[in-house]
Amino acid sequence: MRAKDNTRTAAEVLVDQLIVNGARHVFCVPGESYLAVLDAFYDRDLTVTVCRQEGGAAMMAEAIGKATGLPGICFVTRGPGATNASPGIHIARQDSTPMIVFVGQVARDMREREAFQELDYRAVFGTMAKWATELDDPARVAEFVSRAFYIATNGRPGPVVIALPEDMLTERVAVPNAPAFEPVEMSPGPVEMERLGLLLSQAKRPIFILGGSRWSERASASMQRFAERYALPVATTFRRAHVFDALHPCYAGDLGIGPNPKLLERIKAADLVVLVGGRLGEMPSQSYTLFDIPGPRPTFVHVHPGSEELGRVYRPHLAINAAPTGFAAALDGLTLSGKADWDGDTRAAHADYLAWSDVATEVPGPVNLGAIMVWLRENLPADAILCNGAGNYAAWIHRFYRFRRFACQIAPTSGSMGYGVPAAVAMKRLYPDRTVVAMSGDGDFLMNGQEFATAVQFDLPIVVVIADNGTYGTIRMHQEREYPGRVSATELKNPDFVAYAHAFGGYGVRVEKTADFADAFAAASRSGKPAIIHLKIDPDAISPATTLAKIRERALAARGD
Ligand SMILES: Cc1ncc(C[n+]2csc(CCOP(=O)(O)OP(=O)(O)O)c2C)c(N)n1
Ligand SMILES: [Mg+2]
């Protein structure tokens, strides 16, 4: 309870400071270690979402960071609460997402005795977070919170972890709020832009590759205008398709897992590659085979907000230490002195993309996930948000869904399973009026499927589509390739997902043939409840391009069996 004597508890100062810094959403699982914070939430202008497991809570906060560019906020208890949150912290790390995780901690006078659930958070999260610390002094709460917002968003964004000793949180202090943090823009200088202009003027076959974080609707629009002005082909990296309109005439496609071979050829044939925002990690670089390391053959321009990323793997011919937002804004002012005629090539790149993503491929079984993605892309509103986790089912999203707006794709580039449902809960909380769909595999769904209860509790009518093939399909695919016919620890016996939805108080419907999907989706939307659409998928339909049987056959043939 707030006192009238001008003092506040450290917990109250903390919550007030979050509000000052623009936080509107908090995701948590409660713990006795931070009761004072729970009390400080009471009656405050904050939307608090209490979750079922810290993994889900942390992923929700991470999703908020991805969508808004401002730190997602998560509160968890000490020990197991903190370790449960670690998948979300790891995603924020790999995906360069701003996030702040507050962890309850044992009282200061009990530390170092391995008190109940005590952990050393600096050590545990030291290599995963951008900053892992413990806050001992209630008079310094505002300072630490301010710094956390700066660190989480500055340069290459990432997660911050702050441990809060229980007794510190209840101490009273008379301190003013600190001023709100201001996001720090990173713009390229005129010298860098001039050099880029020169390289583009001299190029015969340039291509832009967009990735990473620190994009925005406005940055995407600037990038699109520049591409249009000079007919530049633009590709996006793994799970960053939303930063460029798929139907823009310059869009060349998605450079992720199993990309269009024509896109790969095009990138390999380029004489100038401009990588904006991304790191070109293992997935988009095709396991680091796309370009020579450290010296790529084409002229390589790397635009990245983290100076430590420039030259880390690829030695750039031109390094531009800027955020995609600042860089894209600078593109509006860049005029090329001339350019080669690559316009036809860019038209061909877009035509190749359209052809690759146009019609669902044939797959075994009566439910074709490709056809469902085509239906979704043609029937969902343009601002619908699609979330997913990891699994082969996502290959159909990457190939056939056409993202048209910034932050409509909320998915982990880190490849963490269990992300789709919590991300969808967070997006529906953030944007109650938009359609939010979580795509999940059967394995993927049950990693955080319990957050469906959170959707029910807060009346968040998300639609969860579960592609149930009765297997950890991705791993089975690798297994058939490496150890054909020896199925080990990849099969799943699943619950009745429709009954699961009903038991939680949601809507559930099963789809056993493609043609029934449209009605199922309409019924799910009409129900006004969080819904699960359970798709029965043939396990042999392992990807849009091949089947399990073919992978096994090929592997056996290669061994001469
Ligand atoms: C947290 C986590 N655990 C394990 C993995 C390894 N993994 C990647 S995909 C996958 C299987 C996914 O199965 P499912 O959700 O059923 O999708 P499917 O591949 O069958 O479409 C596994 C186990 C992972 N990426 N993340
Ligand atoms: Mg599966």
At residue 34, φ and ψ (nearest 5 deg) are: -135, 40
415 Cβ inside 6 Å of ligand 1: yes
406 Cβ inside 6 Å of ligand 1: no
469 Cβ inside 6 Å of ligand 1: yes
Contact 399, 393 (CB under 8 A): no
**Single-letter amino acid, residue 556:** L
What is the average pLDDT across 38-63? 97
Closest-lying ligand to the alpha carbon of 396? 1
Interval between CA 33 and ligand 1 midpoint (Å): 33
DSSP 443-504: HHHHHHGGGHHHHHHTT---EEEEEE-SB-HHHHHHHHHHSTT---S-B-----HHHHHHHT
| pLDDT given for residue 4 in this prediction | 76
Comparing CA positions, the residue from 510, 511, 491 lying closest to residue 499 is 510
Interhelix angle 80-94/54-68, rounded to 10 degrees, is 30
- Which atom of ligand 1 is nearest the CA belonging to 389? 15
Per-residue confidence at 371, pLDDT binned at 50, 70, 90?
very high
388 Cβ inside 6 Å of ligand 1: no
466 Cβ inside 6 Å of ligand 1: no
Mutate to test the pocket of ligand 1, among 89, 474, 494 (most ligand atoms within 8 A of CB): 474
Task: Give, rounded to a whole angstrom, the gap between the first and last alpha carbons of the chain.
Answer: 74
Residue 225 pLDDT exceeds 70:
yes
Percent of the chain with pLDDT over 90: 98
468 Cβ inside 6 Å of ligand 1: no
Interval between CA 391 and ligand 1 midpoint (Å): 5
475 Cβ inside 6 Å of ligand 1: yes
What is the average pLDDT across 13-27? 98
What is the average pLDDT across 264-281? 97
| pLDDT given for residue 443 in this prediction | 98
- Which atom of ligand 1 is nearest the CA belonging to 447? 1
**Measured distance CA(511)–CA(498) in Å, rounded:** 10
Percent of the chain with pLDDT over 70: 99
Closest-lying ligand to the alpha carbon of 441? 1
- Which atom of ligand 1 is nearest the CA belonging to 416? 26
**Single-letter amino acid, residue 451:** E
Residue 1 pLDDT exceeds 60:
no
Comparing CA positions, the residue from 136, 158, 229, 169 lying closest to residue 15 is 169
9 Cβ inside 6 Å of ligand 1: no
Per-residue confidence at 331, pLDDT binned at 50, 70, 90?
very high
Residue 560 pLDDT exceeds 90:
no
Residue 315 pLDDT exceeds 70:
yes
H or E element in which residue 409 lies: strand 409-410
12 Cβ inside 6 Å of ligand 1: no
What is the average pLDDT across 327-346? 98
Residues in the chain: 561
- Which atom of ligand 1 is nearest the CA belonging to 394? 21
**Single-letter amino acid, residue 33:** S
The model's pLDDT over 396-417, given as tens digits with 9 standing for 90+, comes to 999 999 999 999 999 999 999 9
Residue 66 pLDDT exceeds 70:
yes
Per-residue confidence at 5, pLDDT binned at 50, 70, 90?
confident
543 Cβ inside 6 Å of ligand 1: no
Contact 181, 248 (CB under 8 A): no
What is the average pLDDT across 327-355? 98
448 Cβ inside 6 Å of ligand 1: no
- Which atom of ligand 1 is nearest the CA belonging to 469? 20
Q: Tell me the average pLDDT of the chain.
A: 97
At residue 238, φ and ψ (nearest 5 deg) are: -40, 115
Q: Which pair of tokens denotes residue 43?
A: 């009656």
Interhelix angle 420-430/54-68, rounded to 10 degrees, is 50
Comparing CA positions, the residue from 236, 248, 225 lying closest to residue 331 is 225
**Single-letter amino acid, residue 278:** G
- Which atom of ligand 1 is nearest the CA belonging to 467? 21
For residue 291, give every residue at least 6 positions away whose Cβ sits within 8 Å of its Cβ, in sequence order, or none. 273, 280, 285, 297, 298, 300, 314
The model's pLDDT over 98-134, given as tens digits with 9 standing for 90+, comes to 999 999 999 999 999 999 999 999 999 999 999 999 9
pTM above 0.85, yes or no: yes
